[in-house]
Structure 1
């Protein structure tokens, strides 16, 4: 674990890494604020803008080789703010005071865990895979399910739609395929692992009690992709 805290070397200067992330987060929150001001009828849209937008920070962290200690520290701070926001109106439009979901907290926590694990293993693309599946897959599943979900089903006490679940599967497959293909090439393992991850992510997303899917989906997807590639001799 020493590598996490001491490896601050990168091809990019620290000021560029931090400013790039800060600029992106500011842009996402600004868009969410504008939408929240213009459409007060559906706060779910605001939450998904932030959900999808902030998840893409993991791409910046990977591509700019941001040190793990920065990602972990940001995760801790974001997790603390998320917990406070459930009691105080810190994140209006994203969390409602008293809202029975810890999704925002789990989301921030999952980023820190994945960065800590896969930066240490020098395989940050697995962290990106897990977070992006949560960001885009779950985000589209919720939006499409609410807008076009006519065929409902109940599982683990929650109601989902087949349209939303199919969107989750397809999005997860595309994301997994693109990331794995970019690092290990166009080989059969890429497509098999991507399909398995997409199915598993969809299954994990169906259980969303208290927003726990924001933790289980990214961690489960990244872990499964890593383990399958190890077993298939492509780790």
Structure 2
């Protein structure tokens, strides 16, 4: 008897995930090579864009094992790229940050822990890393007028407050879509936002790409268990 083929929607979901990641890498490499200040822009394209793969996985109901496998595969590629210039646009040789590796690793951990029974918390943690951390860096670089230095890392209050604010908005939106509106959201969202800001501030060498999503998702899960 012939082995049955995987369900079509799973094949389509896997194709969409790989297509999205491939387009992001292509765009980042083109920007890196041909645009002024291309290295920084290319990293932001990948940082903000890659997190949305979790929405494709949720939309297409990607199995846990697929999500974990793809995330770990990407993390392995980033480790190789730190040594060999496979993707210089996002992890060039000699960079002192493990952010890209932690980014993919955190996605694998969140999917393994929360998928598929409670995907909202995996989505929340990854979108906070994607949107809040990404926009905090952009705002801090462009509008940061009140800098501070912590553990040798230069940051700004404008960027840190953006981190807290966007994290709060992401938390409100994801929990509202998942659980409906509750007054407790006005407590949970600011607490998660401030925690995300603190985790980002206290991390270094890209470790925030691990501490922020995992810490935000875990804290939000515990708060919802206690307050809902």
Question: Is the 8 Å Cα contact of residues 158 and 208 (structure 1) preserved in structure 2?
Answer: no
Equivalent of 2:163, from 136, 161, 168?
168
Distance 2:187 2:152 in 1: 31
Q: Deviation per CA, 1:180-223: give whole Å up to 9, x if none.
A: 00011111122211111111001101123221110000000000
Q: Which residue of 2 aligns with 1:104?
A: 100
TM-score (normalizing by structure 2): 0.93
Structure 1: give runs of 5+ residues left out of the alignment: 1-8
TM-score (normalizing by structure 1): 0.90
Count of residues paired in the alignment? 223
Equivalent of 1:206, from 186, 201, 208?
201
Question: Is the 8 Å Cα contact of residues 200 and 221 (structure 1) preserved in structure 2?
Answer: yes
Q: Deviation per CA, 1:142-190: give whole Å up to 9, x if none.
A: 1111111111012233211011111111111111111000011111122
Q: Which residue of 2 aligns with 1:192?
A: 187
Distance 2:152 2:33 in 1: 33
Structure 2: give runs of 5+ residues left out of the alignment: 1-5
Distance 1:15 1:23 in 2: 12
Give the deviation of 1:113 after TM superposition: 0.3
- Residue aligned with 1:187, SS: coil
Question: Is the 8 Å Cα contact of residues 75 and 109 (structure 1) preserved in structure 2?
Answer: yes
Aligned CA RMSD, in angstroms, stands at 1.6
Range with greater deviation from structure 2 (192-201 or 28-37): 28-37
Distance 1:229 1:76 in 2: 29
Question: Is the 8 Å Cα contact of residues 203 and 211 (structure 2) preserved in structure 1?
Answer: no
Give the deviation of 1:40 after TM superposition: 4.2
